[in-house]
């Protein structure tokens, strides 16, 4: 990928760096083949032109999701794009149809939940963000649509996340085609459950990974013709058997060995194990434990996993017995024996482990020792036993351990396949290949050689696939590609595996010769391939060799090549283990063929591996491949660390760079016509002014810049390598010239602005100087005027002071003279006034003395008269007291009569009980009771009349007393009046008649009173004593009157009670007369006395379904019932009434006073029939069945809304009416029982019948209310879902509008117009129609509010999720478009008012905040706190991060938030991910029922039903006349 561009000063470029791999900078100087670059790190670098690559100045900050969209497809561009996306937690990137997955080393649960699977289901490849689900979905769709088996190749080095990616692919394929097995677990579940078992026996710790797979795995998911998983199989390749015996530091052996050493005590004792450090196969390395891994727990979990995949407990014990035997085999050491070249166990410890291994293998100890220390050579005539030296015995021991472990691993894989179940008749397969990546270590042995051979073969398959995809792309675009050369690695494959001269063939040949060593093998390689360009010999080694692979040079050490390539079973070992007493061990070694049982048969691991690899490639060739390249960003296995050199090496090893080389061989840069013209229209602006299409415009532009070798396809422009840089150089030159013009204009503007500023400053300075001079001149003139003014005022002051002194002297003299004259006049006037006052006082004293005498005489006279009147009134009060006593006697008589009435009532009850035995006596007693009642009634009328007279008399007396108190004169200020003032305070004065004042003006009377003054004084004293006594008696009389008044009120209440009792007696009398008539009629038809008794009780029993026989309190005449009516069955009549009601309310009866007529009619009928109070009825079942039949027509919204209104109104009436049945407390007193009966009497005029009244409900009524509540919720849910269904296509059109609107006119430079607003108008029309339907059916407003609240919540979920899932929706222009739609919705909520819309507008808070963020300008200046607290307080960090990373707007060129804000969000998300692993950025739709019965009950009022009219159809039926009441 050598750069072929011509760089100019100022160009942005990439150059190689030993630390960062590639570093960007700006060209400072160009000298022929060398370029001087100022790097962004601050250092200056001089590099050759061939090692420099152009950098895209318009590279988006968030990167691109497909490498083919890069303007420059080269190593630094790919590396920069991966790093940008990795920093934003975008770990997946496409390169065409190849997925690159960078291991984040953290949990990202929101990328793999069921919602994400649903999003990728059926989506076109590349429509959504890169993801393994997209690759799996593409493979599944191709398999279903084209009937071709598929293969997904997952590769990468150890720790890159291959296993996790494989699990994700399996989960998605299970989601698409899963099917439950017969045992309750699906096939894909069994495959996933087998992973822990395979990892325990096939994974180990390596230098780069703690859980590295040391084998290749190919999982076949088998599908039937319907696309359902029908079976599966697991294929494994090249288990690293040498690791069983040889482990390098700091690596570990297979996990199962360490798990078994940490097993429970009983297992350790059973297998005679100990610490892992005591075993030779484990202590070759110093690493025994892994951080964060508990081996004892892993052992138990592995055994549970083995149970899950179908391995029984006996088989598990056998497996771990074999593993323990391998560990004991490793501890057997050998020493020289007694014979020459012989060997034997070294010491007792070795013999102990030998014995233990024999016990675990369940074979003979001596036979095991012989198989390790001896060999039997079979000749034509005889068999020769040969001893092995200690070294050969150790090799024999290791060979036994390796072959046993290899066979054990193969047995486990076969067992898993049998447990999973293969479908041999499957139509298609999807294979998932999880295989090791390219390996290059300090020491590379035979395992690395085989692994790299596998990767070379897969790379050839990969290159062919990439080249094929390139050909398909060029063919699709109809461009010429015949001259493009294909890059192939067939020469390396020939070097490795070609027969007979390949490395593997030479290795097999060396293994077959006993005397061959690795030195001779290396010499053979040097001689054979000394001229091969891919093969070389290191200078400092005699046995190593280097191969130039596609990913780089790898040096291999040949020391162990021969030993590791040999794969044969020693006959002694075969015979020993086949004779084991454990049935499991012989199963690992099936019997050899007869012709080879007597000799050792050689087989090569390399050859066998070639066969397996060839079979794998044949399988892959028969399928359509898909590739996932896993990349490990760092070697410390920690998140947020991206090592450029490490990633670049893995990209090379993974073949990504090879794919880029193939792409660069053709047309690496591909731009759509729109993108090409938007970027390079500046090179030829006059072309776009003409009326031509996009293709013609692109061709003219390319012809104008004289570019050669390009191709113009149907939808894209294809550029050769380096041509994009040339166009950018031309574009940079044009922009530079434009910048010079802009700078010239800007400098002119600034110079003119500076001149104008200087001129303005000079004028301003001149103005200030002239103003200063003027102010000095004015100050001088002002001081002169002030001096003149001061002189004038001083002279005025002196003259005024002289005048004032002269004037004050004259005034003082005048004052003294006038004061002396005034004092003389004052003395004279005081003397005259004193004389006048003395005369006045003398005259006044004489007149007052005369007046007091007259006043005393008048008062004495008045007192005498008042005493006389008081005595007269006292006598009247005494008479009234006697009459009150008579009233009390009448009261006693009345109580006696009441007791007699009580006795008569008891007699009536007794007579009713004995009605059949003494009818004649009963009638006589009834007649006497009527006469007595008549007497009582007349007596009560007389008593009532007397009471009214007494009450009128008391009222008159009270009024007279008030008038007396008002008219009595009050005289104050006189000593005599004060002496007798006590008379005015007595209470009885308020009730005595009015006394007029006596005239005392007559002169003769005055003379007479004066003469008798002395006599009156004595009389006054006597009168005072009498008045005191009269006052005391009056107080007693007043108290007595109050008591009588209280007794009168009590008598009045008792009279009311008596009236009540009489009314009850009249009712009972009429009932008894009615019963008598009925019984007489029945006696005529039947002579049975028992039947007549039952008939009298049946009249008061309720009929079926809660209906009662209507009873009347009228006289006997109303019971004129004919024989035909009595014979009619009451049950049949009530059933007819129920049928009529059901038939009527099934129709749409409309509304009355905004209330459903059907609900009110049902309620009135149930209330009248008293159905709520019975223990058993079928009315409610009929009604529930009728309501349930209304749900069948769910698509008719108007029908559903009508029944929602009807059922909710009926539920409200039941909620207000029904109460739990309980007995009211019975009154204990007689008057209490009479009062209760009086109040409950239907003839009372004080009772008002309301539209709704409470009744005591039984169980059927309460059950009916619960069922009705459930139907209300059902109708509500159906209506809400229907409304959502109507809104869904409209919302989908609004969401897809941004995608359609992207096809803007390229000839205009203005930004694209927003989509038409008619889509939002359709939503508004839909909402108006829904609201109109709800209003027409008078649905309770609380339910209307809940419906629109959930509808707006659904709109919020759909709009918000579309913003977070589609990049084209998360733009500035789309934000303005959605904002206009939200304004329409807000206007609708305002017009609909709160009583219908409620809090619906608040449900759009997520979408509103997201739109506010999209349309805000200068996002780069906004901090994270401002976003989270001010702009978007409701949105979560995940949602904000998703919006920020998806945001992009090429039309308006509005940048997103700063990188610091993105970093802050990533830190917070990292912290949150440790606490909550299931948090997703998508919203869920709420489908719950958001109301209760109490809310419906509180939304309506009982008074609103007072004027509701029942169904007119039922009013014509005589049995429903009660509806008119």
Which tens digits make up the pLDDT trace of 1334-1348? 888 888 888 888 888
Percent over 90 (pLDDT), the chain:
19
CA distance 926 to 920: 10
- The pLDDT assigned to 769 comes to 94
CA distances from 1045 to 78, 275, 887, 988, 1032 (A): 113, 112, 11, 17, 20
DSSP class of 1429:
I
The residues pairing with 229 across neighbouring beta strands, listed in sequence order, are 223
- d(CA 38, CA 889) in angstroms, rounded, equals 130
Question: 195 vs 602, which has greater pLDDT?
Answer: 195
CA angle 1252, 1255, 1261 (to 5 degrees): 105
What's residue 1368's pLDDT?
A: 79
Do the annotations mark residue 156 as ligand-binding? yes
Average pLDDT (367-381) is: 83
Q: What are phi and psi of 182, to 5 degrees?
A: -75, -25
Rounded Cα gap, residues 224 and 187, in angstroms: 13
126 is catalytic: no
**Do the Cβ atoms of 628 and 154 come closer than 8 Å?**
yes
pLDDT band at 209 (very low <50, low <70, confident <90, very high): confident
Q: What is the pLDDT of residues 1138-1161, one digit of tens each?
A: 888 888 888 888 888 788 888 888
Largest CA distance in the chain: 196
Q: Report whether pLDDT(1443) > 70.
A: yes
Q: E strands along 1372-1421, which residues?
A: none
Is the Cα dihedral 1367, 1368, 1369, 1371 positive or negative? positive
What pLDDT, on the 0 to 100 scale, is given for residue 319?
A: 94
CA atoms of 135 and 116, how far apart (whole Å) = 14
Among 178, 191, 185, 239, CA closest to 416:
191
pLDDT for 969 beyond 50: no
Q: What residues are paired with 735 via a beta bridge?
A: none
Asked whether the beta carbons of 232 and 166 are under 8 A apart, the reply is no
pLDDT recorded at residue 69: 81
Q: What is the pLDDT of residue 1081?
A: 58
Residue with the larger pLDDT of the pair 1422 and 1101:
1422
Instruction: Report the pLDDT value the prediction gives residue 994, as an integer from 0 to 100.
Output: 36
Out of 49, 103, 163, 1362, which one is annotated catalytic?
163
Question: What's the confidence (pLDDT) of residue 379?
Answer: 72
Residue 861 designated active-site: no
Helix H or strand E encompassing 101? strand 98-102
The pLDDT value given to residue 930: 63
Instruction: Report in angstroms the alpha-carbon separations of 548 from 452, 490, 508, 650, 1492.
Output: 11, 13, 22, 16, 77
Q: Mind listing the pLDDT tens digit for each residue in 763-800?
A: 999 999 999 999 999 999 999 999 999 999 999 999 99
pLDDT (average), residues 1395-1406: 83
| pLDDT for the residue 99 | 92
**Which residue is catalytic, options 5, 95, 212, 1030?**
212
Order of strands across the sheet that contains 716-719: 669-672, 716-719, 711-712
**Least confident window among 74-83, 345-354, 587-596, 671-680:** 587-596
1095 or 1422, higher pLDDT: 1422
Q: Tokens 């479908």 sit at which residue?
A: 423
Q: Which of 439, 497, 908, 991 is catalytic?
A: 439
Task: Provide the pLDDT for residue 1232.
Answer: 44
Q: Which range (1069-1073, 1238-1242, 1383-1387, 1494-1498) has the least confidence?
A: 1238-1242
pLDDT for residue 1370 is more than 70 = yes
Locate 692 and state its tokens. 């031509």
Q: What is the pLDDT of residue 1248?
A: 36
- Does 1175 have pLDDT greater than 60? yes
pLDDT of the residue at 1029: 76
Quick one: CA dihedral 335, 338, 340, 344, positive or negative? negative
Residue 1312 banded pLDDT, cuts 50, 70, 90: very low
Per-residue pLDDT tens for 16-64? 888 888 999 999 888 878 899 999 888 898 898 888 988 888 888 888 8
Q: Which of 373-382, 958-967, 1056-1065 has the highest mean pLDDT?
A: 373-382
Does residue 1464 have a cis bond before it (omega within 30 degrees)?
A: no
- Return the higher-pLDDT residue of 1361 and 1089: 1361
Higher pLDDT: 1064 or 560? It is 560
| 3-class DSSP assignment, residue 1218 | strand
Q: Is 158 a catalytic residue?
A: yes
What is the residue whose two structure tokens read 């696939």? 465
pLDDT at 917 over 80: no
Q: What is the SS3 string spanning 1312-1337?
A: CCCCCCHHHHHHHHHHHHHHHHHHHC
For this structure, is 213 an active site residue? yes
How many other C-beta atoms are found inside a 10 Å radius of the C-beta of residue 160? 24
Q: What is the CA radius of gyration of the chain?
A: 59
- Bond from prior residue into 250 cis (ω within 30 degrees of 0): yes
**157 known ligand binder:** yes
The reported pLDDT for the residue numbered 1126 is 40
Residue 957 has pLDDT above 90, yes or no: no
What average pLDDT score do residues 1198-1209 get? 89
Between CA 298 and CA 262 the distance in angstroms is 9
- pLDDT, residue 1085, reads 53
pLDDT tens digits, one per residue of 1067-1098: 556 556 655 666 665 555 554 444 334 433 33
The span from the CA of 589 to the CA of 574, in Å, is 7
Q: Is pLDDT at 370 greater than 80 in this prediction?
A: yes
Residue with tokens 């450090």: 277
Instruction: Give pLDDT, residue 447.
Output: 82
Measured CA to CA, the distance from residue 723 to residue 1370 in angstroms comes to: 32
The annotation status of 158 as a binding-site residue, yes or no, is: yes
Residue 161 annotated in ligand binding: yes
Identify the pLDDT of residue 351.
93
Can you say how many angstroms the Cα of residue 1421 is from the centroid of all Cα atoms in its chain? 31
77 is in an annotated binding site: no
Given pLDDT bands bounded at 50, 70 and 90, which one contains residue 1310? Answer: very low
Reported as a single tens digit per residue, the pLDDT across 1042-1062 is 777 677 667 766 766 666 566
DSSP reduced 3-state for 624: strand
Residue 1220 has a pLDDT of: 55
Q: Write out the two tokens for 716.
A: 């894209």
Q: Which residue has the higher pLDDT, 124 or 949?
A: 124
**Residue 987 pLDDT exceeds 50:** no
Listed ranges 993-1007, 1018-1032, 1353-1367; the one with the highest mean pLDDT = 1353-1367
Answer whether residue 688 shows pLDDT above 70.
Answer: no
pLDDT at 263 over 90: yes
Sign of CA dihedral 1001, 1004, 1010, 1016: negative
Is 1150 annotated for ligand binding?
A: no
* Helix, strand, or coil (residue 488): coil
pLDDT tens-digit readout, 723-732: 777 777 788 7
Question: Burial code of 1454-1465, b = ≥16 C-beta within 10 A, e = fewer?
Answer: bebbbeebbebb
Check if 369 is active-site.
no
Q: Among 62, 158, 203, 1356, which one carries the catalytic annotation?
A: 158
Burial annotation 1186-1219 (CB, 10 A radius, 16+ → b, else e): ebeebeeeeeebebbbbbbbbbbbbbbbbbbbbe
- Which candidate in 209, 517, 1304, 1314 is catalytic? 209
Coil/strand/helix, residue 431: strand
Question: Catalytic residue at 114?
Answer: no
163 is catalytic: yes
Strands 12-17 and 52-54: antiparallel
Specify the pairing of strand 669-672 against strand 716-719.
Answer: antiparallel
pLDDT above 80 (res 971): no
Which of 193-197, 1024-1028, 1365-1369 bottoms out in mean pLDDT, i.e. has the lowest?
A: 1024-1028
Position 1439 scores a pLDDT of 85
The whole-number average pLDDT for the span 380-406 is 86
Q: What is the mean pLDDT of the chain?
A: 79
Cα dihedral value 1231, 1234, 1239, 1240, nearest 10: 140
- Considering only residues 1319 and 252, tell me which one the structure prediction assigns the higher pLDDT: 252
What is the SS3 assignment for 715? coil
What confidence score (pLDDT) does residue 82 get? 92
Q: Which of 372-376, 1248-1252, 1460-1464 has the lowest mean pLDDT?
A: 1248-1252
Residue percentage of the chain with pLDDT more than 70:
78
Among 437, 502, 655, 1106, the one annotated catalytic: 437
Query: Phi/psi of residue 16, each to 5°?
Result: -70, 145
């Amino acid at each position: 990928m050598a750069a072929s561009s011509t760089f100019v000063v100022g160009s942005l470029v990439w150059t190689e760096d030993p630390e960062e791999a590639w570093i960007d900078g700006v060209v400072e100087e160009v000298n022929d083949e060398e370029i001087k670059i100022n790097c962004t790190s601050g250092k200056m670098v001089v590099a050759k032109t061939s090692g420099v690559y152009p950098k895209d100045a318009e590279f988006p900050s968030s990167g691109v999701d497909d490498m083919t969209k890069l303007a420059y497809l080269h190593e630094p561009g790919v590396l920069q794009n991966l790093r940008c996306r990795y920093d934003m937690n975008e770990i997946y990137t496409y390169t065409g149809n190849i997925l690159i997955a960078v291991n984040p080393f953290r949990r990202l649960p929101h990328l793999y939940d069921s919602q994400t699977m649903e999003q990728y289901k059926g989506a076109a490849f590349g429509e959504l963000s890169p993801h393994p689900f997209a690759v799996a979905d593409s493979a599944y769709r191709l398999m279903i649509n084209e009937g071709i088996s598929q293969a997904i190749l997952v590769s990468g080095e150890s720790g890159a996340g291959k296993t996790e990616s494989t699990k994700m692919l399996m989960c998605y394929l299970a989601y698409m085609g899963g099917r439950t097995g017969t045992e309750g677990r699906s096939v894909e579940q069994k495959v996933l459950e087998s992973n822990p078992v395979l990892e325990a026996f096939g994974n180990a710790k390596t230098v780069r990974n703690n859980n590295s797979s040391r084998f290749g795995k190919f999982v076949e998911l088998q599908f039937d013709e319907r696309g359902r998983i029908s079976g599966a199989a697991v294929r494994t390749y090249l288990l690293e058997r040498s690791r069983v015996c040889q482990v390098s530091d700091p690596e570990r052996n297979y996990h199962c060995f360490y798990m078994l050493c940490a097993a429970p005590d009983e297992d350790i004792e059973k297998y005679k194990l100990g610490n892992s450090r005591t075993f030779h196969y484990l202590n070759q390395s110093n690493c025994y434990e892994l951080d964060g891994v508990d081996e004892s727990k892993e052992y138990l979990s592995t055994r549970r996993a083995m149970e899950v995949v179908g391995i029984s407990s006996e088989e598990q014990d056998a497996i771990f017995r074999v593993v323990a035997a391998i560990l004991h085999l490793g501890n057997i050491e050998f020493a020289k024996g007694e014979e020459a070249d012989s060997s034997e166990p070294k010491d007792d410890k070795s013999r102990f482990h030998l014995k233990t291994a024999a016990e675990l293998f369940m074979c003979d100890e001596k036979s095991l020792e012989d198989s390790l220390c001896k060999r039997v050579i079979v000749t034509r005539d005889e068999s020769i036993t040969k001893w092995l030296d200690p070294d050969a015995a150790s090799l024999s021991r290791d060979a036994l351990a390796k072959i046993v472990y290899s066979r054990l691993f193969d047995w486990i894989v076969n067992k898993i396949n049998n447990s999973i179940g293969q479908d041999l008749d499957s139509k298609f397969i999807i294979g998932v290949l999880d295989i090791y990546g390219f390996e290059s270590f300090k020491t590379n042995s035979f395992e690395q050689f085989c692994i790299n051979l596998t990767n070379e073969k897969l790379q050839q398959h990969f290159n062919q696939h990439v080249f094929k995809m390139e050909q398909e792309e060029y063919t699709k675009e109809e461009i010429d590609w015949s001259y493009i050369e294909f890059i192939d690695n067939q020469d390396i494959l020939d070097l490795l595996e070609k027969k007979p001269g390949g490395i593997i063939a030479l290795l097999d040949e060396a293994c077959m010769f006993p005397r061959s060593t690795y030195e001779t093998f290396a010499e053979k390689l040097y001689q054979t391939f000394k001229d091969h360009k891919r093969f070389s010999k290191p200078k400092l080694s005699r046995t190593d060799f280097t191969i130039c692979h596609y990913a780089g040079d790898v040096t291999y050490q040949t020391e162990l090549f021969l030993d590791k390539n040999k794969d044969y079973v020693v006959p002694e070992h075969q015979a020993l283990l086949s004779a084991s007493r454990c049935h499991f061990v012989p199963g690992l070694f099936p019997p050899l063929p007869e012709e080879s049982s007597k000799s050792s048969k050689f087989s090569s691991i390399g050859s066998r591996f070639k066969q397996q690899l060839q079979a794998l490639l044949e399988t892959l060739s028969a399928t359509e491949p898909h590739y996932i390249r896993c990349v490990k960003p760092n070697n410390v296995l920690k998140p947020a660390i991206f090592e450029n050199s490490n990633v670049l090496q893995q990209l090379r090893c993974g073949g990504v760079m090879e794919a880029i080389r193939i792409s660069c061989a053709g047309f690496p840069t591909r731009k759509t016509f729109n993108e090409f013209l938007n970027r390079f229209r500046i090179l030829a602006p006059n072309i776009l002014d003409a009326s031509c299409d996009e293709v013609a415009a692109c061709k003219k532009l390319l012809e104008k810049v004289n570019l050669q070798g390009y191709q113009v396809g149907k939808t894209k422009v294809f550029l050769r390598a380096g041509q994009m840089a040339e166009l950018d150089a031309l574009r940079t030159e044009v922009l530079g010239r434009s910048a010079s013009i802009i700078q010239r204009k800007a400098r002119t503007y600034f110079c003119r602005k500076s001149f104008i500023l200087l001129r303005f400053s000079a004028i301003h300075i001149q103005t200030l100087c002239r103003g200063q001079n003027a102010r000095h001149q004015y100050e001088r003139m002002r001081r002169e005027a002030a001096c003149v003014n001061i002189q004038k005022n001083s002279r005025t002051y002196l003259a005024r002071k002289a005048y004032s002194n002269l004037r004050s002297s004259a005034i003082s003299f005048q004052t003294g003279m006038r004061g002396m004259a005034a004092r003389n006049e004052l003395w004279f006037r005081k003397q005259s006034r004193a004389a006048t006052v003395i005369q006045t006082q003398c005259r006044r004293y004489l007149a007052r003395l005369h007046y007091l005498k007259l006043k005393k005489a008048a008062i004495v006279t008045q007192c005498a008269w008042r005493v006389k009147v008081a005595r007269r009134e006292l006598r009247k009060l005494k008479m009234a007291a006697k009459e009150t006593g008579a009233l009390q006697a009448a009261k006693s008589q009345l109580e006696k009569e009441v007791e007699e009435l009580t006795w008569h009532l008891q007699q009536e009850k007794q007579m009713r009980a004995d009605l059949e035995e003494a009818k004649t006596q009963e009638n006589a007693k009834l007649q006497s009771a009527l006469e007595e009642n008549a007497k009582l009634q007349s007596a009560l009328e007389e008593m009532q009349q007397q009471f009214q007279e007494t009450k009128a008399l008391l009222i008159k007396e009270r009024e007279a007393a008030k008038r007396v108190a008002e008219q009595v004169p009050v005289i104050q200020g006189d000593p005599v009046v004060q002496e007798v003032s006590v008379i005015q305070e007595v209470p009885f004065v308020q009730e005595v008649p009015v006394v007029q004042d006596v005239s005392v003006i007559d002169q003769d009377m005055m003379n007479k009173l004066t003469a008798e003054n002395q006599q009156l004084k004595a009389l006054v004293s006597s009168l005072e004593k009498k008045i005191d006594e009269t006052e005391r008696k009056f107080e007693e009389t007043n108290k007595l009157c109050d008591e009588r008044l209280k007794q009168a009120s009590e008598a009045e209440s008792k009279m009311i009670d008596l009236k009540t009792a009489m009314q009850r007696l009249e009712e009972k009398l009429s009932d008894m007369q009615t019963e008598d008539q009925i019984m007489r009629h029945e006696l005529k038809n039947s002579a049975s006395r028992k039947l007549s008794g039952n008939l009298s009780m049946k009249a008061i029993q309720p009929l079926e379904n809660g209906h009662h026989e209507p009873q009347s309190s009228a006289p006997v005449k109303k019971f004129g019932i004919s024989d035909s009516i009595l014979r009619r069955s009451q049950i049949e009549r009530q059933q007819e009434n129920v049928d009529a009601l059901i038939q009527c309310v099934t129709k749409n009866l409309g509304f009355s006073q905004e209330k459903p007529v059907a609900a009110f009619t049902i309620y009135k009928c149930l209330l009248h029939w008293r159905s709520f109070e019975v223990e058993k009825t079928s009315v409610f079942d009929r009604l529930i069945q009728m309501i349930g039949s209304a749900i069948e027509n769910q698509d008719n919204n108007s029908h559903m809304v009508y029944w929602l209104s009807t059922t909710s109104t009926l539920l409200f009436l039941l909620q207000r009416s029904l109460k739990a049945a309980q007995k009211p407390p019975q009154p204990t007193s007689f008057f209490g029982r009479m009062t209760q009966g009086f109040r409950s009497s239907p003839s009372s005029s004080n009772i008002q019948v309301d539209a709704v009244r409470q009744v005591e409900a039984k169980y059927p009524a309460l059950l009916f209310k619960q069922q009705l509540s459930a139907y209300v919720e059902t109708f509500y849910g159906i209506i809400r879902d229907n409304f959502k269904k109507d809104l869904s296509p409209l919302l989908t059109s609004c969401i897809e509008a941004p995608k359609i609107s992207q096809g803007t006119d390229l000839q205009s430079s203005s930004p694209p117009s927003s989509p038409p607003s008619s889509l939002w108008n359709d939503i508004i029309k839909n909402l108006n129609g829904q609201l109109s339907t709800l209003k027409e059916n008078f649905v309770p407003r609380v339910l209307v509010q809940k419906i629109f609240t959930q509808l707006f919540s659904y709109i919020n979920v759909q709009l918000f999720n579309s913003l977070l899932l589609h990049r084209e929706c998360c733009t500035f222009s789309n934000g303005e478009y959605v904002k206009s739609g939200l304004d329409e919705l807000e206007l609708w909520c305002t017009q609909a008012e709160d009583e219908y819309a409620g809090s619906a507008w608040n449900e759009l808070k997520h979408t509103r905040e997201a739109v506010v963020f999209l349309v805000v300008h200068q996002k780069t200046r906004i901090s994270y706190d401002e976003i989270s607290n001010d702009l978007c307080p409701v949105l979560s960090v995940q949602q904000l991060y998703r919006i920020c990373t998806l945001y992009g707007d090429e039309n308006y060129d509005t940048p997103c938030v700063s990188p610091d804000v993105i970093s802050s969000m990533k830190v917070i998300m990292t912290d949150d991910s440790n606490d909550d692993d299931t948090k997703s950025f998508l919203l869920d739709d709420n489908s719950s029922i958001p109301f209760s019965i109490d809310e419906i009950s509180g939304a309506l009022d009982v008074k609103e039903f007072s004027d509701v009219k029942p169904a007119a159809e039922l009013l014509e039926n005589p049995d429903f006349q009660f509806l008119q009441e």
